[in-house]
Amino acid sequence: MGVEPLPGEPAAIAATADQRLLVVADYHAGIEAGLRRDGVELPDHGPERRESLLALVDAEQPDRLVVLGDLANAIGDPSRAEREEIIALFEGLPVDLPVTLVKGNHDGDAASLLERVDQSVEITPGHGVRVDDVGFAHGHTWPSPDVLTADVVCVAHEHPVVRLEDEVGGARVERAWLRGDLNPIPFREFHDVDIDIGPDAELVVFPAFNDLSGGTWVNVDGQDFLAPFLPDGLVDGQAYLLDGTRLGDYRRV
């Protein structure tokens, strides 16, 4: 059992006692419409996002799809573009594939929209859900004590990216995974209870599935984390590129 990123993809397989879960985070359907309202003109990449996720489902044949929050993009009611993209995505998924949406801060009205789809959809609170020994929470709020007792806790919301420079001063930004030991102290202090967090508990911070959604530059001084439990909740955090390249301590990349 455990959580293993898929090489080259902003997605992972979480293996529990009896299920293989395909996990993605921060899909942000219809983000282009929101960016256009802010004066940024971009073509619609919705079809490419949809086909990328459907291809992963087809290749991995998971028992369940877990969206680790922010399936939608607008905070509040999804826009028309978001609704159309989400409905098109679910129409492309196998009808018998159950879906879990761990509610994110951008999923305010997701429940009414997902009533229209044919799949079995479970929507959890933002503080998350535990599936066997794997916990899932979006990350905009503190994970629940039950989630924190899992062997591996998966969170999103942060959209971690690293800034990489070459020998001649060129720079690029790459999406990244963060993973390391889960520090129990801030979580116990927040919940004011002695949560039974194991000594080998791991915290995994997922990259955003949507590469237009920006992110926290984790190796740039002065960048603040979005999640209330980061960076204190992550011990010896290591950064990994989507292709699996290990960059080491994310603060020293």
What token pair was written down for 117?
A: 């789809």
What token pair was written down for 86?
A: 């989400």
pTM for the whole thing?
Answer: 0.93
Which domain does 26 fall in, by range? 2-252
If you search the block for the tokens 């607008």, which residue do you land on? Answer: 74
For the chain, the domain total comes to 1
Tens digit of each residue's pLDDT (9 = 90 or more) over 74-125: 766 777 888 889 999 999 999 999 999 999 988 878 888 888 888 899 999 9
Q: What is the largest CA-CA distance in the chain?
A: 53
Tens digit of each residue's pLDDT (9 = 90 or more) over 233-244: 999 999 999 999
Tens digit of each residue's pLDDT (9 = 90 or more) over 63-76: 999 999 999 887 66
What token pair was written down for 170?
A: 């060129």
The predicted model gives 11-38 an average pLDDT of 87
Tens digit of each residue's pLDDT (9 = 90 or more) over 157-201: 999 999 887 766 677 889 999 999 999 999 999 999 999 998 999
One DSSP character per residue, 130-151 reads EETTEEE--SSSPPPHHHHTSS
From the CB of residue 144, how many other CB atoms can be counted at a distance below 10 Å? Answer: 20
pLDDT grade, residue 39 (50/70/90)? Answer: low
Distance CA 139, CA 102 (A): 10
Q: Which residues share a beta bridge with 12? A: 5, 23
Distance CA 186, CA 188 (A): 6
If you search the block for the tokens 């609704």, which residue do you land on? Answer: 83
If you search the block for the tokens 């984790």, which residue do you land on? Answer: 218
CB 196 within 8 A of CB 190: no
From the CB of residue 52, how many other CB atoms can be counted at a distance below 10 Å? Answer: 15
Cis peptide before 47 (omega within 30 of 0): no
Helix (H) or strand (E) holding 37: helix 31-37
